[in-house]
Structure 1
Amino acid sequence: MLIIIFIVFGFCFLLERIKPGWKLPNVSTWTIRVLGVNFIQLSIVVLAGFTWEKWLSSISVFQLSNFVPNWLGGIIAYFIATFIFYWWHRWRHTVDFLWLGFHQIHHSPQRLEVITSFYKHPLEMTVNSIIGSLLVYTLLGLNPEAGAIYTLCTALGEFFYHTNVKTPQWIGYI
């Protein structure tokens, strides 16, 4: 799945350069900063696979992987996660501690583009990963293959929200 995520990222990155939605400001040190933050995020994802994802998958409430195919389990997890992360996102905007300590960095860039999809404080990314793992493994009881589908859906959603391209007006109503 990671290869698919990188390919889709590359496609969005190229699309932004070919047909950008708006002109982005030149910001000194932006490239090195955004690459550094994204490298840290990727490291957290890899760490998760070797630590809390394994620990949190040792028990589960529903054992959904016994009843649905992996692709469906991953999609079910994604739709449930959109509800959970909607509220988690709202709290990060309204609770001062969460805004200042976690989420403010995500809104700090002067540029909005696909590479800012995962431009987050390392603690925020870690908490997001743990919340996702609790949902996918501990609550739903999905296996790592379904978890990979969930991760793919999450990445595609983030890319869609952040890619700097013009979208049809009707998309704003969804």
Structure 2
Amino acid sequence: MDFLNKLLGIDPNYIIIGLIALFFSLEQLTKTRFSFKDRMKHLFQNGLFQIVLVGLNFFFVSFQVFLIDWLNGQQIGLLYLISLPLWAKILISVVLYDLTAYWIHRGTHKIPLLWRFHRVHHSDTSMDSSTVFRFHPMELILVFGLGNIVTAFLFGTDVLSMALYYFILYIFFFFEHANLNYPNWLNFTLGLIFVMPDQHRVHHQQDQFYTDSNYADIFIIWDRVFGTYKTMNANKMKYGLAEFDSDNKQKFFYLLKSPFIHTQPIKHEQKDRK
């Protein structure tokens, strides 16, 4: 547990900087699956979202930790009804945080108001490792941040397990979004339980039929169990949202205000769907 505490004591910003440096460098040094231009400009535009989020998180993370600690102090949640070893409680808590995130993520696609914010992430027409940053700050704080508090309220999960969940999540996020070639065998082995890049790429396909699938962040098993799992030939992928497919709609300031702008979705022909 001492090692875990030291590992999770590392500033998350350092972890994120290390991961973006690693994956973005690999994207420039290796032959990637999809060819995109203006990579540094793309990194800069997406990186601005992370800068804003870091500033806002300074206040909200403290509030989030305070509430979860208070809930734990009151022994509220299902995990307080059973006796478990600490390691088991931590692992189960990580799974529960991911399960809650699955349903919240699914909700951001189905509830029009939430979709207005979440579509900022999906609007990226050239997905790479920097797309990890491309979330509207209000979505991460008010939707997914409050989701962590709800998870603690329902299940009795704690701050330590939440920190471990995010440590794992950061790795998966960069792994899933990076514009890299991965071996196909991953989809048929680890991809039975965990989210693999080809599976998450389906989620970023421009056709909304595929966009509304593969919601899981870490455990793809949620999509398999709840009927939202879809596959698609990776060579036919076209990222983003058709209604955002122009240079002026890919800029930071436009995307920041885009939830408050009505944008009519562009429908796709219903062919070659599975």
TM range (shorter): 0.7 to 0.9
The one of 94, 112, 119 equivalent to 1:96 is 112
In 2, the alpha carbon distance for the partners of 1:12 and 1:74 equals 28
The alignment's C-alpha RMSD in Å is 2.7
Q: Which residue in the other structure is 1:145 paired with? A: 160
Structure number having the greater helix percentage: 1
Please tell me the residue identity of whatever aligns with 2:69. S
Please tell me the residue identity of whatever aligns with 1:124. E
Q: Which residue in the other structure is 1:11 paired with? A: 22
Unaligned runs of 5+ in 1: none
Deviations 1:93-142 (A, max 9, x none): 23322212x2110011222111211311122111112212332x434434
Q: Is the 8 A contact 2:47 2:133 kept in 1?
A: no
Q: Which residue in the other structure is 1:159 paired with? A: 174
> How much has 1:29 moved relative to structure 2?
5.5
Q: Which residue in the other structure is 1:132 paired with? A: 148
In 2, the alpha carbon distance for the partners of 1:74 and 1:119 equals 29
Q: Is the 8 A contact 1:21 1:165 kept in 2?
A: yes
What number of residue pairs does the alignment pair up? 170
Q: Which residue in the other structure is 1:26 paired with? A: 38
In 1, the alpha carbon distance for the partners of 2:90 and 2:155 equals 10
Say if 1:29 and 1:18 are closer, same or farther in 2 by CA, change over 3 A: closer
Instruction: Tell me which moved more, 33-42 or 44-53.
Output: 44-53
Say if 1:35 and 1:9 are closer, same or farther in 2 by CA, change over 3 A: closer
Please tell me the residue identity of whatever aligns with 1:85. A
In 2, the alpha carbon distance for the partners of 1:78 and 1:45 equals 21
Q: Is the 8 A contact 1:5 1:155 kept in 2?
A: yes
> How much has 1:28 moved relative to structure 2?
9.2
TM-score under structure 1 normalisation?
0.79
Larger radius of gyration: 2
> How much has 1:152 moved relative to structure 2?
0.3
Q: SS state of the match for residue 12, structure 1?
A: helix
Corresponding position: 1:118 with 2:118: no
Q: Is the 8 A contact 1:45 1:129 kept in 2?
A: no
In 2, the alpha carbon distance for the partners of 1:13 and 1:111 equals 13
In 1, the alpha carbon distance for the partners of 2:66 and 2:108 equals 27
Structure 1 residue ranges, 4+ long, deviating more than 6 angstroms after superposition = none
Q: How does 1:65-76 map to 2 (within 5 A)?
A: 67-69=84-86, 73-76=89-92
